[in-house]
Amino acid sequence: MNGSNVVVDESALRLGVAADYAAESGLRVFVHRSLLKYLMERAFAGDLASLDGLRRLTSASKSHVEFVGEATDVGWRDAVLEYCRKNHETLFTSDPLVARVAESMGVRYRYIVPEPPIHIESVFTGDVMSLHVKEGLEPRIKRGHPGRWVFESIRERPVTRTELESLVAYIMKTAYDVFGTEAFVEVDKSELTILQLGQFRIVITRPPLSDGMEMTVVKPVMRVKLEDYRLPPKVLERLEKRAEGILIAGPPGMGKSTFAQALAEHYRNMRKVVKTVESPRDLNLPPDITQYSKSAAKDGEIHSVLLLSRPDYTVFDEMREARDFEMYIDLRYAGIGMIGVIHASTPIDALHRIANRVDIGVLPSIVDTLIFMDKGRVASIHTLEIVVKVPAGLKRADLARPTVVVKDFLNDEAVYELYVFGERVFFVPVKPSEERNNELILFRRIISKHLSDFNINYTGDKLVISINPEEMRTYFKKCQNKVLRLAKQVGLNVEVTPKQ
């Protein structure tokens, strides 16, 4: 071995730099058989990028490519690095971590990253919220603010797989230059990479996880304070003195995390100990607010840390899985103030996601304040309290039971009641009779356009429609979709029965 040869790794093949090098230098290029085995596995999984890179390499250098070593189960990185060390060969890579390991092992290496087609720093100007790049499509940006944004293309030519790989390689090089201070990697797998680079949250997916390579870069457009939301004094008083089980709900992109970030800083300024649980860690917070990564921890580790360290408030951004809700509930039982961020299309949908996981009587102890976000603003605030009463929708006095009353906090009016009947938890809208009558008029108007013989009434949180059996088919064909759409808007379930 004369030292003028190079041994390529997977990144050099995937980015095409190995083929360019072979065509220009005329030197021999070695491909380890453990790497070849990995390329085949990726190809069978649906990702052909690296195998295509090998094809370009063999086409560019023809007889100058040689397969070396034996395929083992130790992993291609270990096999390639060990081969280079033993045979005094030069490693050719575009992976910053592989280059660092080679340097630590005393292995000669050439680390080359091609010029990216886009520099993300130049893209994020003004009110740009995010960058979306997928192979075969034009790169686009989302410009605007939560709930008020537009998509714009930033170039007419679609991005190729090689260009996108070059962009990712450049980003990873930048990240590893400041690793541990301004950058950290949450997840690093063949098909998924999640990292934080400064204020940029970057998610990269490859086949077979996605149908093509894709990269999404998100940057907070603004950093706001709680005062910027201009909340009424009674709301601030509740958040500061009474709220300890808070849910921040809303559809995606409506400013939930931004509000949670502002609330976390507000509590920190009140000299409260605040910590966060995130996946990934992308809230922009001062260093004295410790941010824990859910994806980097093993099951139960963060739970144990929070129970032992006992912060005054913990921000959980975002709760999706069953174990997320279990952690939120258990920490509230332990007396820790919790702020949970949750996807929901309506405030009551957010309560649905947690109410069935606890005894209805303790729900107000778990969630006492529900904040619903819409287009970057606080759209509504609800509070929960437990009383013993005959629930809405029931009439007999002997049916009195513990009932959770959900109130609009600003006007102190009940809007929903939650109670257990049999083994089911019922969510019943509490509305003035005039409003209910207006809703019935709308439902009747929809149905009467196509049916002549039907009855319609409320039963608790359910709209019961009784239809002549002969007209059932007409209802399902011409009325059902409109009825269900309106019912969802007003928070009702629908039951259709044959008319007796």
- Which band of pLDDT confidence, cut at 50, 70 and 90, is reported for residue 202? very high
What is 6-111's CATH number, 3.40.930.10, 3.40.50.1010, 3.30.460.80, 3.40.50.740?
3.40.50.1010
Percent of the chain with pLDDT over 70: 95
Which has more pLDDT, 459 or 364?
A: 364
- Please say if the pLDDT value at position 382 is more than 60: yes
**pLDDT average, residue stretch 112-134:** 91
- With both helix axes pointing from N to C terminus, report the angle between 480-490 and 433-448 in degrees, rounded to the nearest 10: 170
- Please say if the pLDDT value at position 342 is more than 90: yes
**pLDDT average, residue stretch 149-168:** 92
- Give the least confident one: 196-200, 381-385, 472-476: 196-200
Torsion region of 69: left, alpha or beta (phi above 0 gives left; psi -120 to 50 gives alpha): left
* The predicted structure's pLDDT at residue 461: 62
- Please say if the pLDDT value at position 500 is more than 80: no
- Which band of pLDDT confidence, cut at 50, 70 and 90, is reported for residue 2? very low
Average pLDDT of every residue of the chain: 88
* The predicted structure's pLDDT at residue 431: 65
- Give the least confident one: 14-28, 72-86, 202-216, 346-360: 14-28
Percent of the chain with pLDDT over 90: 51
- Please say if the pLDDT value at position 337 is more than 60: yes
- Which band of pLDDT confidence, cut at 50, 70 and 90, is reported for residue 424? confident
pLDDT tens-digit map of 293-319: 887 777 788 989 999 988 999 999 889
In CATH, the number for domain 433-498 is 3.30.70
- Please say if the pLDDT value at position 279 is more than 80: no
Q: Do domains 120-218 and 433-498 have the same CATH topology?
A: no
- Which band of pLDDT confidence, cut at 50, 70 and 90, is reported for residue 1? very low
Asked if CATH classification 3.30.450 holds for the domain at 120-218, the reply, yes or no, is yes
* The predicted structure's pLDDT at residue 285: 87
- Give the least confident one: 101-115, 229-243, 394-408: 394-408
- Which band of pLDDT confidence, cut at 50, 70 and 90, is reported for residue 326? very high
- Please say if the pLDDT value at position 132 is more than 70: yes
**pLDDT average, residue stretch 259-283:** 91
* Whole-Å CA distances, 334 to 245, 309, 311, 368: 12, 12, 11, 15
The pair of three-digit structure tokens given for residue 339, joined into one six-digit string: 């702020």
pTM of the prediction? 0.68
Asked if CATH classification 3.40.50.300 holds for the domain at 226-428, the reply, yes or no, is yes
Beta strand 377-389 with 369-374 is antiparallel
The domain limits of the chain are 6-111, 120-218, 226-428, 433-498
